[in-house]
Each structure stands twice: as C-alpha cells, then as structure tokens.
Amino acid sequence: MVKKFEADLTNAVWRRSGGVQTEAAVEVALLDGGVAVRDSRKPDGDVLFFTPDEWDAFVGGAKDGEFDL
C-alpha cells in the first residue's frame, strides 16, 4: 500500500547529489517529517518522500555498497 504524503515544498532547500551543475542528478530536501527527493532535470515533476527511518536505511545501504552494480 502506498501512502500519500503531502508537504509544502515552497521553501524547501534542495541540495544536489554531486558534481557539475549541468549533469543530471538527484536533489534532496530535509523536511520536518523526513526527506524529499526529486530529479534535478524535472524540478516541477514528481517528488519521493522518505521517513527518517527509510532514509537512514537507504543511506546505510548505499554506504555498505548494497546498491553497487
């Protein structure tokens, strides 16, 4: 089941995932209720929301190489 989460992103501070401004990247905004993630090429597009626990699990998995191809 997918939960619908609504947040006012008007004043969100988005940070890019890395490198050069012209490269495609993800952008992350820290919110009171968790973390928002969007595609840097489509800032008005869909946004994914993660609870703090979900975000911690994702970051931990990335650090441990769980998502390496």
Quick: pLDDT tens for 2-48.
666 677 888 899 998 766 666 778 899 999 889 999 998 898 999 99
The model's pTM? 0.77
Q: What is the pLDDT of residue 4?
A: 65
Whether 58 is covered by a domain: the verdict is yes
Per-residue pLDDT tens digits for 49-67: 999 999 999 999 999 999 8
Using CA atoms, how far residue 8 sits from 18, 20, 43, in Å, is 25, 28, 14
Domain hosting 29: range is 25-63
Residue 15 is encoded by which pair of tokens?
């940070």
Whether 50 is covered by a domain: the verdict is yes
Q: Judging by beta carbons within 10 Å of its beta carbon (0-12, 13-18, 19+), is residue 32 exposed, middle or buried?
A: exposed
How far is it, in rounded angstroms, from Cα 23 to Cα 9? Answer: 23
Domain count, the chain: 1
